[in-house]
Structure 1
């Protein structure tokens, strides 16, 4: 069916024309008469979305005391053909319908035409306001080449908005969901001259993918854009702070090759969205994930064992010995830790996951004996693994040829970090090879969980050895779904950790991991804002703060604890071997006292299982930085600053309820508070952790 027929011949549609129509319920629709530019207006929740006669749009907010979002109508959608940017279309007609079913909505179909110098192009704009997602409008655009000649398409762009500042410093904070080798902060203030492309494909040899959402906010308002495809897409979400301090956002698809747009052909963009909310990025990100799940993304349930604290043998490095690992287990148990992780270095090579002879001279029997020893100490065992990586000299590539991804020039895609090749995730040979490894790790060796590790897991390049190269990109989440299903088939309680080192973990891969992780954080700030991000997208996730040794000063348990993250460490104990790397992480007598206090407190409170209240505090503008967790009728607050002396606000308290306030780390009582006056004066360095307990009447 031709696109113009598909968009405008649906059941239950009616022509609105130029008649005033008010839609009762989630949306409003008006026609401005007596003006040169009649427009349509949709009010959905607190988002006001307008379209004018040129098919330009304007967004604004109906929040009380809201300030302008944009100066005027803007070309929020555009297409570039033969080096000509086309954004002005003459509005011809529009239609409205009501969509029933599992995802009820109101839908508007708007038609415009561009005609100039022999070029004629139709633009069909579909706007969807989902009933259960107020404040969000989904947008789809289809362009039809009505000309008599072929053209080349270079780019399309949706959600193209310049948001005005309000004089604050910084003018905006932003969440950006792309990944690169810089491993930069996911959340940052925007400074003059800032630009980031936010490509969702491969940005460096090992890095790519992420969360296809950009969210920018001022103290009064948050605006987010992104796409709603159920598979990864190779698009950009660029963010730029302009000279006038406006922030520019959008979603674009670039066509690197000369892509022919033939006469009569139709080009469809992705379903993108714009949403608006109060506060920082948390609510918009949570709404995005809920809508994606309503559309078909299935997120696995949490696993009880994934919330248990973790010790990892990585403190001993790749040159660990069996003696070192086994000698550490009694101390692991004594500290109240439940997991022991065998990390990198046990294997012959990436791709060849048999035990290395210098680590395990007795071969697989030694590995099985190690797991049995871990279990004998009352601990669970997890094994490190880099799926989709195989060294060039590995036997797996020789014995199972054809697993590699091939780039357009025929070369294999290289993983520089591991000096390895990428395996193609959709090829049956790769899948069967992976299933054999899962049987080895979980069935034969009896490990209780997997630590899948490596930034390369987050995305892959198009595999040109496939008939449709982008199948490798879009099929990557199915590969991890297969791993999860196979692992849980072997061991119904298996913990499946996905640790894409330093990257913004692909939203699509999150769906089938039951343990997320801060993944080689560069600071405690990253531990905290990564945690807030994961908890917005997967509220019940077991979020692991990674080894505390990666935090500020190597001992900032508070950053993980206060946001409800699982605690972990890679401490070492004195050994008979001369392991220089392990010396840095030796658990001294003083450290042991601190470590034991934190793990004991963690096992007592178990805040990682509780409800994170991410919309109470703005992580950018509120000072000091604050987080809150609710456990039954108690609230747990965490405040962070290099140094703070003054008033703090305890938000989220129930009305007409008095609360006892306790600094539960230092065991210091504060005055009682109530919701109408939720302020106390405190002084702290680095952090303060407070427990608010309602007073029983």
Structure 2
């Protein structure tokens, strides 16, 4: 009997051990489980985020028809210490908690340990799923130096994912939010061997900043990463396509100098995120902006006057005369344009904004009279200005030399394009100098709006005259917010345009402008995809397509019109002066007929104020390229291709509603369509603009 009892006690004991082992395995807290298995699994909307026992991660999607994203767990969050990448941590504990308040949700904290050769690190991986933002997981990591000795950090990276292709050509498209002197496309197809660092600081003497998001997509799925800091950060968002067409993305901080990591100290990464969506980059970018606004970014309200069409005197160049500008105003009014812009060339120098004597021999009185003439035609007046720039030898710098940003070696930070010095945006002297200029332009001279211009506006370099040099780039958005508030205090309906020539505009600067712009586009393609980007991030903004003369063939109004952009031009009229620049943009009789048609159509439809529906068509894979604007119960479709002959599809139609299709540019009625039969055969060159009107209305 005793032997039998001992047998059953042993059997029960081993059964209990087996039971505990199974339970521990299921709940994910077995320290001996395979690194291939999931210890934490979060499903939030259609994103599935897993963490294994080495604190490696894996992303997958539950969207219908979406294919494998990663074939294995990856060391997506790691730190480099003493030139050694530390990526394998032994999972010790996972805690889950609830987030209450405005940004409610769930939070997971996974703690892991790395210990080897006297180095001991604790990794605390915090994962957050916000209730109102499905398909997105935010990631923040705290590293603790639990060693007895100090070490040096070289950098860290979050969201370092290697994503599988699916064999399509091209296998990936990408949105990359950085800026460079090449003024390259923000959206492009990727090829094997491609690499772009996407540094968010200064990339050249004049260029830097941008949107801290990278979004890559295949026909079945889009994956985006970025950071959620409320100020600009000097980090990278590198994009690389390997030889096997896998794409590598991430958010990395490569320290400019090796940083001492003292024993028992903690270093915290930025809060980064990964999100998934169907289609192109539009939804992921929109989701990012909505979350940033929930976290504290405040976008300004739209201004009615910002949607009105624009004429700019830049067609006459810097050597314009008063006569040329004044003589153009009647034609501006006749074409249905509401704004006249006095552009570069009126000033003594960058920094010294008094009127140049050769252009305005009567001084400030001549400027005031010009504004009176503009207002006399019922037009609004805008003035060109390049803040944060002052020429060497200018009075502004003679009086306040401390405004200049200085490099680490003590040399002034130079703006190559303007042959000027950068001004530090957080210094009191710079702020006062800027407020005085605003009073001059909007109060004393009576202009109605500002055209702030220059690629250097997008970011500034660290200012080494400050105790914390990064105070300058991080404080830049506050500088522009000051300009916006001061301008609107003087003129409550002032239009404040920010035109950071050719750059991918800093997301943080978007919060203090009520008119964004395609900003010196190199092609019509740039006008359209920049428009889609702005409408994802700031859907209420007045997006200005810039001078139509910068589009393909210098006359592609359709690209601005179909994307819902404000129309603008810099045409010139015959003049007695010998101005070779102005000859390029003369409004001939034929051009006037075309210009009149487009501006009349723009004022009739005013699609720039309406809702852009950005998730219906994939700008990379869907052909022809298509954009849609909804105005009440009507849908406006813009199709683009060099040449198209075949079917087009009308997405977004209401069920059980029949629509008549109108080519409203050519005033031609086409066939009827409905959601169950949304196709139509057409042929066109360059563009076709179609209106879907519910039958009976």
**TM-score band w.r.t. shorter chain:** over 0.9
**Contact 1:571/1:585 (8 A) holds in 2:** yes
- Distance in 1 between residues matched to 2:672 and 2:180, nearest whole Å: 47
- Distance in 2 between residues matched to 1:381 and 1:483, nearest whole Å: 18
2:331 is matched with which residue? 331
2:83 is matched with which residue? 83
**Contact 1:30/1:41 (8 A) holds in 2:** no
Report the 3-state secondary structure (helix = DSSP H, G, I; strand = E; otherwise coil) of the residue aligned with 2:488: helix
Report the 3-state secondary structure (helix = DSSP H, G, I; strand = E; otherwise coil) of the residue aligned with 1:640: strand
Report the 3-state secondary structure (helix = DSSP H, G, I; strand = E; otherwise coil) of the residue aligned with 2:361: coil
**Contact 1:55/1:89 (8 A) holds in 2:** yes
Report matched runs for 1:12-161 at 5 Å. Answer: 31=28, 35-36=33-34, 37-161=37-161
**Contact 2:351/2:396 (8 A) holds in 1:** yes
- Distance in 2 between residues matched to 1:670 and 1:402, nearest whole Å: 66
Where structure 2 has 5 or more consecutive residues not aligned to the other structure, the ranges are 1-19
Q: CA deviation at 1:685?
A: 0.2
Pick the structure with greater CA Rg: 2
1:500 is matched with which residue? 500
Q: 1:117 to 1:312 in 2, by over 3 A?
A: same
2:551 is matched with which residue? 551
Q: CA deviation at 1:696?
A: 2.7
Indicate yes or no: 2:554 matched with 1:528.
no
1:278-309 deviation digits (Å, cap 9, x = unpaired): 00000000000000000000000000000000
Q: CA deviation at 1:18?
A: 9.2
Q: CA deviation at 1:442?
A: 0.2
Q: CA deviation at 1:155?
A: 1.1
RMSD between superposed Cα atoms in Å: 1.3
1:356-406 deviation digits (Å, cap 9, x = unpaired): 001100000000000000000110000000000000011110012310101
Q: 1:30 to 1:512 in 2, by over 3 A?
A: farther
- Distance in 2 between residues matched to 1:393 and 1:485, nearest whole Å: 30
- Distance in 2 between residues matched to 1:256 and 1:386, nearest whole Å: 30
Report the 3-state secondary structure (helix = DSSP H, G, I; strand = E; otherwise coil) of the residue aligned with 2:177: strand
Where structure 1 has 5 or more consecutive residues not aligned to the other structure, the ranges are 1-16, 22-28
- Distance in 1 between residues matched to 2:571 and 2:155, nearest whole Å: 51
Q: CA deviation at 1:66?
A: 1.6
Report matched runs for 1:390-401 at 5 Å. Answer: 390-401=390-401
Indicate yes or no: 2:542 matched with 1:542.
yes
**Contact 2:178/2:209 (8 A) holds in 1:** yes
**Contact 1:32/1:38 (8 A) holds in 2:** no
Q: CA deviation at 1:30?
A: 5.9
- Distance in 2 between residues matched to 1:356 and 1:45, nearest whole Å: 60
1:527-585 deviation digits (Å, cap 9, x = unpaired): 00000000000001100000000000000000000010000000000001110000000
Report matched runs for 1:296-695 at 5 Å. Answer: 296-695=296-695
**Contact 1:567/1:602 (8 A) holds in 2:** yes
- Distance in 2 between residues matched to 1:299 and 1:319, nearest whole Å: 37
1:456-496 deviation digits (Å, cap 9, x = unpaired): 00000000101111000100000000000000000000000
Q: 1:664 to 1:19 in 2, by over 3 A?
A: farther
Q: CA deviation at 1:687?
A: 0.2
1:403-442 deviation digits (Å, cap 9, x = unpaired): 0101100011000000000000000000000000000000
**Contact 2:172/2:218 (8 A) holds in 1:** yes
Q: 1:445 to 1:18 in 2, by over 3 A?
A: farther
- Distance in 1 between residues matched to 2:54 and 2:401, nearest whole Å: 56
1:92-149 deviation digits (Å, cap 9, x = unpaired): 0011111111111100011000011111100000000000000000000010011111
- Distance in 1 between residues matched to 2:304 and 2:469, nearest whole Å: 39
State the number of aligned residues. 674
- Distance in 2 between residues matched to 1:18 and 1:38, nearest whole Å: 16
**Contact 1:521/1:550 (8 A) holds in 2:** yes
Deviates more, 1:635-644 or 1:62-71: 62-71
1:176 is matched with which residue? 176
- Distance in 2 between residues matched to 1:612 and 1:291, nearest whole Å: 20
- Distance in 2 between residues matched to 1:44 and 1:675, nearest whole Å: 31
**Contact 2:29/2:93 (8 A) holds in 1:** no
Report the 3-state secondary structure (helix = DSSP H, G, I; strand = E; otherwise coil) of the residue aligned with 2:425: coil
Report the 3-state secondary structure (helix = DSSP H, G, I; strand = E; otherwise coil) of the residue aligned with 1:65: coil
- Distance in 1 between residues matched to 2:179 and 2:679, nearest whole Å: 39
1:325-362 deviation digits (Å, cap 9, x = unpaired): 00000000000000000000000000000000011000
**Contact 1:497/1:516 (8 A) holds in 2:** yes
Report the 3-state secondary structure (helix = DSSP H, G, I; strand = E; otherwise coil) of the residue aligned with 2:435: helix
Deviates more, 1:601-610 or 1:99-108: 99-108
- Distance in 2 between residues matched to 1:168 and 1:417, nearest whole Å: 41
Report the 3-state secondary structure (helix = DSSP H, G, I; strand = E; otherwise coil) of the residue aligned with 1:436: helix
**Contact 1:642/1:685 (8 A) holds in 2:** yes
Report the 3-state secondary structure (helix = DSSP H, G, I; strand = E; otherwise coil) of the residue aligned with 1:370: helix
Q: CA deviation at 1:670?
A: 1.1
- Distance in 2 between residues matched to 1:676 and 1:152, nearest whole Å: 63
Q: 1:18 to 1:76 in 2, by over 3 A?
A: farther
Report the 3-state secondary structure (helix = DSSP H, G, I; strand = E; otherwise coil) of the residue aligned with 1:224: strand
- Distance in 2 between residues matched to 1:336 and 1:113, nearest whole Å: 68
